[in-house]
Amino acid sequence: MIRDCGTKKWTAMMLPEHVQQLREWQDEDKTPNRQQPHKQQFEEWNDMLARAMKSNTPLTITHWQSGNPFIKTGFIRNIDSSISTLRLYTGEGIAYVIPLDRVGNISEFE
């Protein structure tokens, strides 16, 4: 029994341009989309970062790099507003410099 859901049957009758557009469309669906945070979310993150720095509590930060999301958990030690970056230290002592414009989400570590 053929289990190709009919896609192979119809490609012979399609124009090559349409096949190419369908492949691009499928690839586009596979890549995760980055959503732009709104102003209220920036204010919440600012308060959360200030509390975490003051009380030395860990945060989980999702940031985007090369079109892919990465999740890092650690302690915020420094926020440099002149170059718009924050410095995150993990429990193992590894330091990450994350640009603020690539941050996708900030949450408290549980």
Neighbours of 52 (CB within 10 A): 18
SS (H, E, C) 37-86: CCHHHHHHHHHHHHHHHHHCCCEEEEEEECCEEEEEEEEEEEEECCCCEE
Q: What is the mean pLDDT of the chain?
A: 82
* CATH (residue range 56-108): 2.30.30.520
Give residue-wise pLDDT tens across range 37-85. Answer: 788 888 898 898 889 889 989 999 998 888 788 899 999 888 888 888 8
Rounded mean pLDDT of 10-14?
A: 72
Longest CA pairwise span in the chain (Å): 65
Look at residue 94 and tell me whether its pLDDT is greater than 70.
yes
Percent of the chain topping pLDDT 90:
5
pTM here? 0.64
Q: How confident is the model at residue 3 (pLDDT cuts 50, 70, 90)?
A: low
pLDDT of residue 65: 85
pLDDT of residue 60: 92
The Cβ-side half-sphere exposure at 95, using a 13 Å CA radius, reads 7
Does residue 48 contact residue 109 with C-beta atoms inside 8 Å? Answer: no
